[in-house]
Structures are given as C-alpha cells and as structure tokens.
Amino acid sequence: MTISTPLSPTERSTPGRTKHRAVFDRAALYDVLDTGLICHLGLVLDGSPVVLPTGYGRDGDTLYLHGSTGARSLRAAADGIDVCVTVTHLDGIVYARSLNHHSMNYRSAVVHGRARPVTERAEKLHGLRMVTEHLAPGSWDHARGVNAKEYAAVSVLALPLHEASVKVRAEGPNDDAEDIEANAVWAGVLPVRQVFGTPEPATDLPVPAHVTARAAQASTGPCSGSSR
C-alpha cells in the first residue's frame, strides 16, 4: 500500500467538533477501508436520507460498490447523485469516572462523492473482483465465474476517494482532573473486536486454504484473532 497524496477534506468532510481526532493521511484512509468488511452507504432518495449496509472493495483511489440492477438505492446512485460511504471499526468501550466522558474507541472513514456506474466490461469485472476479494479473499480464483446472465444482472459503481475524512480515538478515558484526584470511580477501556469463527461447510469438500487461513485468525489466542 502506497502513501500518496494527503486527504484534502472540504467543509463537509472536515470534522467540526473533535478536530484532534481527525487523521489526514491517505494511508490511514486505506487502512480503515481495507480492514472493514461492510460499509454504510448513504444517499438521498425523494429528499430523505437512506443508509444501507453493503459490501465494497478498493483499488487505489477507487472504491467499488456492487448490487443488483434492480436495487433502488444503486439505481439512484448510478444516475449520478451524491453518496456518502462510511466504514467504522468499534475498538472499545471507554468507561470514564464521569458519565460525561464515557466514550468509544473507534476508527472511521467517511467518503463523500459522486458514484459513477461502471459499464465497460473489463473495469466492471475488475470492480466485481475487488468487491469479491474484499469480502472473501481467494474466492475469485476458486469459485465458478460470472456468467452472462449474472453479469447483466449486477451493477457496479465506482466512487473516487477524493474527499474523505478519517477519525480515530484510541486512548483511555479523558476525565477531569478533579475526578481523577477523587479516585472514586473505576475507569478504563473494554476492548471490542470482530473475530471469525469456525467455518460451517455446506459441502463435503475439504475447506480450502483461503478459508482456513482466515478462520485460523480466530484461534491465535483467546479471541485475539481480529478480522482486521
């Protein structure tokens, strides 16, 4: 992964409140996106916001989304309306001495932009590959490929990673000095992780290496195998 140009947030992508949590480098953006599994896609339908969970994939400074050609949300996005794609990792619950300083540790990326429909065959297949390999690394070469009917039934959208912001909180509670001195209330962080379990086969075939390798992340320690 290369560290290229810094993020250039505009007004809407500049965190208004907690500026000290904002991270303005492209490597941080790539990291949040690449270690996530789903994004939340926001768009405006009939004047109202709609937020839907969906898969995605990244190649360089392009984020690929896909969906059925029949999905209203993707049809709308393909018409060229603005979207907002957010990926969030919850890393911990922050217990503070005061209720006011209770918080969460997290890493989040918010991407604003206009998604364009990908119709050229080579790029569309490339986009599908990026989305598939993000969800299930190794599957593109392992599973039966996309036939003509399936190809026609899927939409692929490309969103440039031009306007984005990354926020990270990764620390203990930020209590007031008086509350720390009083030392009357426990404070600390309860870590939260996403882990893979044991594969549940639907076939009698042996579980392939690209799946066992991923599942094995969950057995490197007591729940230490994060999907990140």
Instruction: Pick the closer one to a second copy by CB: 122 or 190.
Output: 190
- Asked if 4 is part of the footprint of a second copy (rule: CB under 8 A), the reply reads no
How close are the terminal C-alpha atoms of the chain, in Å? 15
CB of 2 to a second copy, least distance (A): 27
138, 210 contact by CB (below 8 A): yes
Identity of the amino acid at 172: G
Q: In 3D, which of 116, 225, 98, 113 has the Cα closest to residue 173?
A: 98
Burial string for 178-189 (b: 16+ CB within 10 Å, else e) reads: ebeeeeeeebeb
Q: How many chain residues touch a second copy (CB under 8 A)? A: 99
Q: Could you say which of 1, 3, 207, 216 contacts a second copy (CB under 8 A)?
A: 207
CB of 31 to a second copy, least distance (A): 16
Q: Mask 125-164, x = binds a second copy (CB under 8 A)?
A: ---x---x--xx--xx-xxxxxx--x---x----------
Q: How far is the CB of 62 from a second copy (least distance, A)?
A: 19
| 65: phi then psi, degrees, rounded to nearest 5 | -125, 155
One character per residue 11-50, x = contact with a second copy (rule: CB under 8 A)? -x---xx-------------------xx-xxxxxxxxxxx
Based on CB atoms, which residue is closest to a second copy, 4 or 184? 184
Q: Residue 214 Cβ, how far from a second copy at the closest point, in Å? A: 6
CB 192 within 8 A of CB 90: yes
Sequence length of the chain is: 228
